[in-house]
Structure 1
Amino acid sequence: MPRLLLIAFGNFFGLFVAEISLRLADYPFPKFYQLDVSRGYALRPGVEGWYRKEGISYVRINSDDLRDVEHSKTKPPNTLRIAVVGDSYAEALQVGQQNSFWALLEERLTSCVGEDLKVEVINFGVSGYGTAQELLTIRERVWSYSPDLVILAFTTGNDISDNVRELKRAADIPYFISETSARFGQLFSQFHWLSLA
């Protein structure tokens, strides 16, 4: 019995030291992001846990990799559906979901319209996204929800530099590039991995 207690105590102590070490190293758990073939990275579906970097909030990612409640892709009748696309301001991991600007927008618009119309705001925001990734999100994800309105949340604080490869220094995400024919808008993405499987 004493030997069993010693083993149990040793395991407990080892786990305790590991937990303290991970917290001191600011290990980011849970991992809210995953690789994405076209956008570089995206939110990981079904992940939930505490976010503690720039605030403390409990975060849930829905089954369609949105930081939002579950939404049907088919728009319900008599619904004004608004899609919000943006970076960390839209993703809003730093605050509780009920305090995000898009949740407050839905709440306030709902109070302004009559009972015959429902307002639904869907959040497609992902931290660090530049306009190229946001355009891909609109093309590949947003339109499948049939929104009546798309809001692009843009901040001059970092969204301009997020669109320039030399300023952001992240090679594995899409950027806009200008071709020699002076046509602007061609999307270019260079990935350093062969497979995401």
Structure 2
Amino acid sequence: MKKIFTVFIITLCNLLISSHACAALVSLDFDDITGNNVLWQSDRYLANKEVLFQANDADLYAYDDPSPGHGGENVATSGLSYIYSGTPGHGNSAITVTFFDQGNLDSFGVTNFLQFDVVDYASENTALWSYRVFDINGDTLFSETGTASGETVQISTNIPLIHGFTFTPSIDTEGLDSFVFENVTAANSASVPEPVTALLFGLGALGLLTKRKLSSP
């Protein structure tokens, strides 16, 4: 019985490790957007990255002027550009980011991991920004608030079936940079992540083996 249990645990560990290693990550640093306070289209990355950026109450802009005293020490976390929503030079409106399978707006997509940097435009204030992760029904999966206080803050969320998130900046003029997420899958084909499914099946099999062993004479 001990030998069977050992083999089972080793197999499960290998499965979990290999599944995690195969999960490809997509990165966006926005450095393909050139120009200072450039207005850009929200569907810029939809077709090839399966992600849509939307400004809730304003327009989307890109900023790539990391000069000293104007956010330069905080902006260039992955390169020169970051994005924000609001008016030119003022990132004070919410950004909603959603995933779509194969870039099709009629096919909701989900991911199990996302990460990005909150860039504070050289502000030393401590006003709060907010961050909310939601599923395909719009229900909240996770939320938090924080402050950048003139620093770059990295946010990382590892939750199954993320359809998108909304980032609402404070009055400090904040934007997003270094956006990373796990490969998008179709929402109707995604349920419990594969490692968890394997673990559940494995535990069930172990329970049956244990029951058979205890009931045998």
Relative to its length, the structure with more helix (as a share) is 1
Q: Same fold (TM over 0.5)?
A: no
TM-score after normalising by structure 2: 0.23
TM-score after normalising by structure 1: 0.25
Q: Whose RCO is larger (CA < 8 A, sep 6+)?
A: 2
Relative to its length, the structure with more strand (as a share) is 2
